[in-house]
Amino acid sequence: MTHSLGSAITDEAAIGSWKEQLKLDPYRSYLYSYPHKTAYRELDPVRPLAELWHGEAAETFFLYMHIPFCGARCGFCNLFTLPDKRSDVHKQYVDALERQAVQWAPHVGRKPFARFAIGGGTPTLLEAPLLDRLFRIAEDVMGLDPAQASISVEASPETVTPERLYILQKRRVDRVSMGIQSFVEAEASAIYRPQKPLEVERALDLLKQYDFPVLNLDLIYGLPGQSVDSWLYSLQCALSFEPEEIFIYPLYTREHTIVKPEEVRSSGEDTRMACYAAARNHLLARGYKQYSMRRFARENAASGKSLLPYGCQEEGMVGLGCGARSYTRSVHYATRYGVSRQATESIIADFVAAERHDLAGYGFVLNEEEQKRRFILKAILHWEGLELSAYTDRFGSGALDDFPELNLLLESGMAERPPGVLRLTEEGLAYSDAIGDWFISAEVRKRMEGFVLR
Ligand SMILES: C[S@@+](CC[C@H](N)C(=O)[O-])C[C@H]1O[C@@H](n2cnc3c(N)ncnc32)[C@H](O)[C@@H]1O
Ligand code: SF4
């Protein structure tokens, strides 16, 4: 169903059938980033970091650290993470991350970091002193200024302790993001996430005492055994803790995870679109603003710091640790990606044993077309949409001239065009995962389909 460049469809019947096809499967792929990491391959030749980052034109930078450990692997999760609670394993990993930071700092240190995030995995699985060390590496080695950057850390309920929260507060963390997924015990256990509602409430009560400027909670809809009513129950439980931000994720089932598509749909219909619509209405009525298909936040959520502008289109991403991705304008790179225990274990072991971290050996080189697609996708999957003049300023051409197929979004009512902007409508936002997927280039799709997940 992808239309090649230059092939705008103009007749109404064709537009109708294009839209129908798009709506047949709203959940094709979550384009967390473009190109997707399954499109990455060995880079030939490998690129020295000095060359990659020299003269990078990004306006601001995002420093990310990946902690690829969890207490157990949830049955739905295909993130790069290993179930391993051993503190000596964590320490060896942070030692390696520090070696990497020291080697990267001459090339990417002391940048205007507008954001710093520690994600995973479950970063709060690390004991408090090790968690503190990550901030020391960020500040002392990479030159992060915690007064200037918005700082976010991911957590899971059972790892929330006063010792860890004390460190996060001391290090001026603005946002703590906690995965909950469901407040119904049977639903959590059906996705192999052994989590008691009482444990979740304990963690939330404790988090509230520390009063971080932004508390984000993650929930998943479309779980096995979940109904629209039980989904709304979980949403209401989450809202009773008054989070500043909430992410609602449609369930995806993927290779190498325990929860299988058959299991999810065994009860019959796919309730995801109904869950989304019900949650959206509920959140809007409760004063949350919708920023994307997944993200809702209170408008007044702010940290009180005077921050660098962040989340802009042109942001360099400096990703430290195994499983983190780094982005310059023209090259995205990372360590290899795997999900199975064997694969994650061996990728982490290679990272820990590596002496050199100053070469990028695995990733994706973005030619101009891919840079344009990325620019457009990043903008239109967000409620603000694509500012057409920003595209022209960057590329010297018009987005709709370069990609006439974008007119399909307008003609089908999936997007609208207030002055100077192309943005998704309410209907378009609901189909973000189908629209994002549709706009993937043939080359990236070929690579994604050819990726062998281990
Ligand atoms: C990096 S995880 C982090 C949180 C933390 N490790 C935890 O689970 O508490 C970010 C979020 O992505 C969502 N997620 C991960 N895999 C998913 C899947 N297969 N389908 C839907 N949402 C998913 C979950 O809501 C999860 O909390
Ligand atoms: S959802 Fe979170 S806790 Fe569960 S395996 Fe994935 S990263 Fe780990």
C-alpha torsion sign, points 368, 450, 27, 64: negative
| Residue-level pLDDT at 239 | 98
Please state whether the peptide bond connecting residue 45 to the residue before it is cis, i.e. omega within 30 degrees of 0. yes
C-beta of residue 366 within 8 angstroms of C-beta of residue 330: yes
Question: What ligand has the least distance to the C-alpha of 66?
Answer: 1
C-alpha torsion sign, points 281, 286, 291, 292: negative
Distance CA 130, CA 89 (A): 12
Q: Please identify which residue in the block is written with the tokens 């915690």.
A: 146
Beta strands per DSSP E along 20-137: 41-48, 60-67, 69-70, 82-83, 113-120
| Residue-level pLDDT at 1 | 42
Question: What ligand has the least distance to the C-alpha of 218?
Answer: 1
User: Which helix or strand (DSSP H or E) is residue 283 part of?
Assistant: helix 272-285
Distance CA 297, CA 409 (A): 26
Question: What ligand has the least distance to the C-alpha of 154?
Answer: 1
Q: Please identify which residue in the block is written with the tokens 């389909």.
A: 449
Question: By C-alpha distance, which of 324, 415, 271 is closest to 93?
Answer: 324
Does the C-beta of 249 come closer than 6 Å to ligand 1?
A: yes
**Complete domains list, the chain, with CATH:** 12-35+368-450 (1.10.10), 57-298 (3.80.30.20)
Q: Which residue has the CA at smallest separation from atom 6 of ligand 2?
A: 77
Distance CA 118, CA 166 (A): 16
Tell me whether residue 271 is exposed, middle or buried, using C-beta atoms within 10 angstroms of its C-beta: 0 to 12, 13 to 18, 19 or more. buried
User: Which CA distances in Å does 209 have to 10, 160, 171, 273?
Assistant: 57, 12, 16, 35
Kindly give, in sequence order, each residue whose CB lies less than 8 Å from that of residue 227, ignoring residues fewer than 6 positions away.
271
Does the C-beta of 121 come closer than 6 Å to ligand 2?
A: yes
Does the C-beta of 120 come closer than 6 Å to ligand 2?
A: yes
Does the C-beta of 77 come closer than 6 Å to ligand 2?
A: yes
Q: What is the best residue among 122, 154, 256 to mutate for testing ligand 2's pocket, by most ligand atoms within 8 Å of CB?
A: 122
Q: Please identify which residue in the block is written with the tokens 């940290």.
A: 303
Structure tokens at 408: 């399909």
Distance CA 292, CA 432 (A): 8
Structure tokens at 400: 């709709």
Does the C-beta of 339 come closer than 6 Å to ligand 2?
A: no
Burial code (b: 16+ CB inside 10 Å, e: under 16) for 242-254 equals: ebbbbbbbbbbbe
Does the C-beta of 157 come closer than 6 Å to ligand 2?
A: no
CB-CB neighbours of 198 under 10 Å: 10
Q: Give pLDDT tens digits along the chain (454 positions).
A: 444 434 556 688 889 999 999 999 999 988 889 999 999 999 999 999 999 999 888 888 999 999 999 999 999 998 999 999 999 999 999 999 999 999 999 999 888 899 999 999 999 999 999 999 999 999 999 999 999 999 999 999 999 999 999 999 999 999 999 999 999 999 999 999 989 999 999 999 999 999 899 999 999 999 999 999 999 999 999 999 999 999 999 999 877 778 876 666 656 678 999 999 999 999 999 999 999 999 999 976 666 676 666 656 778 999 999 999 999 999 999 998 888 889 999 999 999 999 999 999 999 999 999 999 999 999 999 999 999 999 999 999 999 999 999 999 999 999 999 999 999 999 999 999 999 999 999 999 999 999 988 8
